Structure 1
Amino acid sequence: MTVTDSTARATSLLRFATAGSVDDGKSTLVGRLLHDSKSVLSDQLEAVERASVARGQEAPDLALLTDGLRAEREQGITIDVAYRYFATPRRRFILADTPGHVQYTRNMVTGASTAQLAIVLVDARNGVVEQTWRHAAVAALLRVPHLVLAVNKMDLVDFDESVFARIAREFTAYAASLGVPEITAIPISALQGDNVVTPSAHMHWYSGPTVLEHLETVPVTHDPTGDAARFPVQYVIRPQTAEHPDYRGYAGQLASGVLRVGDRVTVHPSGRQSTVSAIDVLGRAAELAWAPQSVTVRLADDLDISRGDVIAPADAALRPTRQVTATVCHLHDRPLAPGDRVLLQHTTRTVKAIVEDIPSRLTLADLSHHPAPGRLEANDIGRVVLRTAEPLPLDDYTASRRTGSFLLVDPADGSTLTAGMAGAAFAGPEAHPSPAEPDDEGWDF
């Protein structure tokens, strides 16, 4: 049986992120999208106009629609991820405007981690620069399926087709070498609005889509029956009512795939098997459910299941492990080093873990690996080896962004330290030093 959902397709949601070097015009592009698609409220536009006048500008600075922090407006740069929500008759959007500075690479990772599409801006006057390579590499590492190259400020190079063609060739070749499946190049002027929402009157040589047209038409829905089912249990429901004295349901959101009544399943990490006896969707019985629906699943057998367990098909190639090798981006100002005790959050499960080794740090400019860095500083991307107190049913990140990702958390204050992608790695001269043996005192596993 093939799952189709015409209603969801008609109102589909696209999550996308913008990235690029400082002053390439990311916030202006986002502001132009919001303004020209009539997604800005009148009071918001009035506030931007007042702020622009106060800064001595004659025309409204549309970048202020996303640069919401006072520090950003004072410096004229984006320093945090700015999220905006808007919709057109064809699609709903969640956009993340990410910083361009090298020291805010972690913010770009945060903004693009759930994105289905990334827009990388390039200043037509400067062409492809090192930060362009860095952002393309991060998008590839995060397995963002669609990548758009927006060559901005074409008005400042007299809308020269040869300038656009040269930049597009260089960027496309590099992104393709990273394994990015789809790359679309669009010449734009965010300041004047050329090819952002409406086609440009200055670039007749370009016949492709505008930025908004591409955002509205890029495919983001697919038949979930091709994905392996993964159902992380969030809550165990035991109503204890006279009507349902023996009701035991497992509530959560399907991370991927489809579950059907009658499916033979395995509960991880215990390995116990059972059969799906019923599925409740919004309080009503259903024969099947598919990602990303939130449902309650009931099993034929009375098993010991709790929050954090994962229900998957009985024949799934899922092997819970206590030894986790992953690529991570370190987010905290405090370094991550071998021997550190952390908490690992995977879907709805949190377990104790120890950093056994940091084999290498990735240099995004050329994708080379710096062996045995000793520790990871803020914004660093590297390989880590972790040992967990309990087995985790981790998928490879290349197979599932949802069940292949995790966070490392400081057990003392609960702050997020690191974002991880199980198994994910770029090809390159990976180093393999011998893992260090941490002192396990106080962490019994």
Structure 2
Amino acid sequence: MNAFLRKSVLCSALATVGLMASAQVLAVTQIEFWHSMSGALNDKVDQMADDFNHSQSEYRVKPVYRGDYATSMTGAIAAFRAHKAPSIVQIFEVGTATMMSAKGAIEPVHTLMQNANEPFDPNSYLPAITGYYSTPDNEMLSFPFNSSTPVLYANRTILDKAGVKKVPETWEELGDTLKKVVSSGAAKCGMTSTWPSWILLENFTARNDLPLATKANGLEGASARLAFNTPQVVKQFERLKAWSQDGRFSYGGRADQAMTKFYSGQCAMVAASSASIADIRENAKGNTFEVDTLPYSSDALAATGRKKPLNSIIGGASLWVMGGQSKEQQAAAAAFLHYLSAPKVQADWSEFSGYLPITQKADKLIKASGFYDKHPGTDTAINQLTGTKPTDNSRGLRLGNMAQIRDIIEEEMERIFNGEKSPKEALDNAVKRGDVLLARFEKTAR
């Protein structure tokens, strides 16, 4: 074979290899995953997607940070209408009803996994988490991702100065403890709370088996109406109002603004998300702290006929698969969700982020590794969440316009603490105003 012919054959062979490589690249299905994880959590999400991409050759997931939860949800719905939706989008828990009502915009997870022939057993997930994102028939609509629940953090250094050996489990007994902290001069304030509506109202009703709204807190239909202005809840806010006047409680603002009162040592305790534990460690400033369960009310439980408190409810977000995707894109989304649910992946995510593991196997893996023993308090949230079987009042909530309803609730709370209204007046008004938004949502949900 002469030199020219050999060169021609070689070029032809290289061209064939190039075409084959191009075909393989084109065969890879790529999907976008919109999320709201910033900072170190953004880097962790990138790593998880990269690990998935390297674990197989059929699919590629591209994570894209799209701003806070509200911005991302609004953008995803707008993108769906423009036929430019991502395959997966992270939505905060109070956006669940909105996503469900967006007709055709989502592909239920239980349907997605079945159609893609991916292994999927709803019973392998923690009921208190999946119940929030499932139908009454236990069919999961979205995939839990970053779930947290509120706990009570206590500055042990301050408590020791005040002579407090143990943080009590009930609100009634906690009053005496907080009085001791303030009267001893160990701290100016006994306790504060982040996310006031979520912790002081939504989780108070859940822990004490009281309704937040009708229709199982909205899980059974869009015709739900608010129902939290009960005598037990009124009594709880009368208690908090009295404590705010003598220093046992200090209202710290919305979202997580109250954390500054705890970090500075102004308040001895703070009710906050279980996912706050890493930040609390970082801001400890030489103090030691402990993680205790969220208090319950013995009086409220007695009124409902219960002897033990129920589980708290979750916050955080879940992953929704958008509608209108090709079969290949749906298969890619299903494969990624299956990967994320793997015990090792979940355990690693939970240990890194402070969010709860979503499966029973992941929880067992974390226990077996000794992580909970090495990091005291990290198991408080999971024990609180899984210690009892959820009821209609503690499964979670699914109320339309819930983000706006929370704003209303917190406005009325602030009027209680600044003396503008009595607890009953404020709670009655919050129900009245919130029901207007629920009625408006019900019309759109039809």
Q: Which TM-score band (shorter chain)? A: under 0.3
Choose between structure 1 and 2: higher strand proportion.
Answer: 1
Q: TM-score, normalised by structure 2?
A: 0.25
Q: TM-score, normalised by structure 1?
A: 0.25
Q: Which has the higher contact order (CA 8 A, sep 6+)?
A: 2
